[in-house]
């Protein structure tokens, strides 16, 4: 079955499928089904009309109704891998190694010298940069950005919405920093 045959079949099956209505949907049907013409389209149409109930608001099936019955044409098993899968696997392997090297070096230093929320933000940054950099080393500006993100998130969690005055903001950030410092000191004393 091709798209023209599908539109003809819809017109014959559903009285509400006037030529004018089908003409407006024709480009959509073509865009969605032109590459999937054949027995898959015929079977999907048959399955669709078996379940479709025409209403005054929806007098005939639209492409979305038929698509729900279309089989998946390709799966990971029938793609055979190919060069894109090899490239992605290679990129992933490089990223894992880059992140592991970062964690063993700079990551451990950040963990030892910064509050836990800052370290967590640096981990997220390192994970996002791992596929792009080798060797992976966060720049001072990137660590500062991670600290600002962590501070902002902690401030929102503690105080809620943004205050109207900059002085209030600064006081809230200072309070979060002070809590981080006391928590870090307590952690070091316990160790």
User: What is the structure's pLDDT at 77?
Assistant: 52
User: What is the structure's pLDDT at 16?
Assistant: 86
Among 145, 154, 156, 146, smallest CA distance to 177 is for 154
Among 24, 12, 17, smallest CA distance to 59 is for 17
Across 45-66, average pLDDT: 89
Global confidence as pTM: 0.55
Across 86-96, average pLDDT: 89
Count other Cβ atoms within 10 Å, centred on residue 36: 16
**Which run of H or E residues covers position 31?**
helix 19-33
């Amino acid at each position: 079955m091709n798209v023209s045959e599908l539109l003809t079949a819809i017109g014959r099956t559903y009285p509400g499928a006037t030529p004018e209505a089908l003409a407006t949907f024709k480009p959509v049907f073509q865009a969605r089904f032109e590459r999937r013409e054949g027995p898959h389209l015929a079977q999907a149409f048959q399955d669709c009309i078996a379940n479709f109930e025409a209403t005054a608001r929806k007098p005939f099936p639209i492409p979305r109704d038929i698509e729900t019955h279309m089989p998946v044409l390709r799966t990971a098993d029938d793609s055979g891998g190919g060069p894109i899968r090899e490239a992605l696997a290679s990129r992933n392997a490089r990223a894992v190694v880059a992140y592991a090297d970062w964690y063993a070096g700079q990551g451990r230093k950040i963990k030892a010298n910064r509050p836990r929320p800052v370290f967590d933000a640096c981990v997220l940054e390192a994970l996002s940069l791992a596929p792009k950099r080798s060797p992976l080393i966060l720049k001072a500006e990137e660590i500062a950005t991670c600290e600002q993100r962590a501070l902002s998130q902690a401030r929102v969690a503690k105080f809620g919405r943004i205050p109207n005055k900059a002085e209030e903001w600064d006081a809230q950030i200072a309070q979060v920093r002070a809590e981080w410092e006391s928590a870090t000191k307590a952690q070091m004393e316990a160790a």
